[in-house]
Structure 1
């Protein structure tokens, strides 16, 4: 049951085209969203620290990702009025719970990569690619 006493499954269905959970799922499971949440699970980070941790993300994409995750209530932007300004990003309780689940999935994928690579080689060999 949700906070309103309504069963969440009766209200939100990610398989429905207009369900708002679909966009949040995209923010969480997209390449940069999942990596950003997972990196922030380790500790609160400043923008450039986070950018270095999530190797390959552009400044623009990281900024867009952080805005989306903040809007969804997964990340908090903490700006301290210093000179120069000190801004850190950290997970909310919801963000930490989400990151824990993502890290479990990431662990599974990393652990099973030998099988994935073998499947890719077999697939490519069968089609004469790669």
Structure 2
């Protein structure tokens, strides 16, 4: 097994230097999951920490996360609101609404309404830009 991870760029493949010296894919999967059923991709801090533990400087994952940490955190909060509907999930979902709508809401939107409105707003901004 090739011991270097590969990052596919637009035109070429760059090796990512790994700290791991594994002989097969099964061992690598067990190590990365760290005893859990699956690798947690929901929390940006967890992803960053895992990448830094296994790949030199966490590259390329840490660099990619730098610009999308807030988006990933918002996705997790929306998911938790759908899955749990607990007091904490509701409070965290209110944070997402504030982030995306840039205003405090008098009433909460459902996760579906929020996502639909966000997509429609993005499409509206795009069409206004194209019409200029």
TM-score (norm 1): 0.30
Which structure would you say has the larger Rg?
2
TM-score (norm 2): 0.29
Compare the two structures and name the one with the higher strand fraction. Answer: 1
> Which structure is higher in RCO with an 8 Å CA cutoff and minimum separation 6?
1
